Amino acid sequence: MLGAAIQSGYLSQAPYNATLSKHFNSVTAEYEHKWDPVQRTPGVYDFTGADQIVEFAEARGMRVRGHALVWHGATPAWVNSLSEPELRIAMEDHIRTVAGRYRGRIFAWDVVNEAVADEGQANTGGLRNSVFLQRLGPGFIAEAFRLARSAAPEARLYYNDYSIEWANAKFERTYALVKGLVDDGVPIDGVGFQMHVEAQNYPPAAQIARNMQRIADLGLVVNISEMDVRIRLAPGDLMTRLEAQKRVYREIVGVCVAQPFCDGITFWGFTDRYSWIDGFFGPDDPLPFNESYGAKPAAYGVLDALLRR
């Protein structure tokens, strides 16, 4: 399954729509399935963009990977001022409403996103110090998975995070969290590796493969959920950087292709015309298609990996 994160507002642009329809068989809402866009005002749901993305995919026989039910980012402001019982009710209502609306239509959900603390953060039991942890305690994670399973029993339920592609402490924390969930019988099916990397600094294939294998050994599946490859700080002229980017796409996509329990690869966008990287890390060209929708060397790197060359 080869996918891209998309935004409904661009679908009316012919080259955007055509490139997406031609090269991909799975989509993820880059923003529109998150909590803030669907319920900016408490109790008032708006599924305009969210529905458009699901309907676009269904009309083309593409799969939808849902992202993300519980995440500290894109949580509406009102959620931060809820008391413990209020937040518990709000989270339950949110998961039941969103996952339930698309029941049977969404292949997988990122149920909990980025709940593990980064390398430097301490004293939070290995978890990010989010409003969910503060109000509900670490049990919010298991709770979210149970709610998602009951609302969307057919969907694969994923824990998703970044920087867990390396042999590092963050992966070990994630592994411990996920193993604990499995041991407790919590309905989790997989772990998503976001894979926001840089051409001059990316996880060695062997480390990614090892981490994926350890998750698979727990009886779970894995996927690459948000891949992009920054080249702004890579050495050399543009051609050199684009070639380096191609190698990174080929190597990393190749790890998923070789892993029987890797159920998909999603890029966080597909055209350099629209990438979150420009706003977050600075101007870049991190995706397989250029700003005028031409295939970059990176796209051929992906193709090489898919064809096992």
300 binds ligand XIL (CB under 6 A): no
Which of the residues 91 through 120 are near ligand XIL (CB under 6 A)? 113
Q: Which residue is nearest to ligand XIL (CB)?
A: 276
x-marked contacts with ligand XIL along 214-243 as a string, rule CB under 6 A: ------------x-----------------
DSSP secondary structure code for residue 154 in this structure? T
75 binds ligand XIL (CB under 6 A): no
Residue 114 is among the residues annotated as catalytic for this protein: yes
Q: What angle do CA 121, 122, 123 make, to 5 degrees?
A: 140
The nearest distance, CB 222 to ligand XIL, in angstroms, is 16
| Bridge-based pairing state of the strands 190-193 and 156-161 | parallel
Do the Cβ atoms of 256 and 223 come closer than 8 Å? yes
Measured from the CB atom, the residue of 31 and 193 that comes closer to ligand XIL is: 31
Catalytic residue chosen out of the listed positions 30, 143, 165, 226: 226
Q: Given phi > 0 = left and psi -120 to 50 = alpha, else beta, which region is 75?
A: beta
CA 102 to chain CA mean position, Å: 18
x-marked contacts with ligand XIL along 146-185 as a string, rule CB under 6 A: ----------------------------------------
Residue 172 is among the residues annotated as catalytic for this protein: no
Neighbours of 176 (CB within 10 A): 12
CA 99 to chain CA mean position, Å: 16
The nearest distance, CB 69 to ligand XIL, in angstroms, is 12
CA 134 to chain CA mean position, Å: 24
35 binds ligand XIL (CB under 6 A): no
d(CA 66, CA 54): 9
The nearest distance, CB 54 to ligand XIL, in angstroms, is 17
d(CA 229, CA 125): 31
276 binds ligand XIL (CB under 6 A): yes
Query: Residue count at the site for ligand XIL (CB under 6 A)?
Result: 8
The nearest distance, CB 194 to ligand XIL, in angstroms, is 6
Do the Cβ atoms of 24 and 11 come closer than 8 Å? no
Catalytic residue chosen out of the listed positions 114, 143, 165, 198: 114
CA 202 to chain CA mean position, Å: 18
What positions carry a catalytic annotation? 114, 226
List of residues contacting ligand XIL (CB under 6 A): 30-31, 73-74, 113, 194, 226, 276
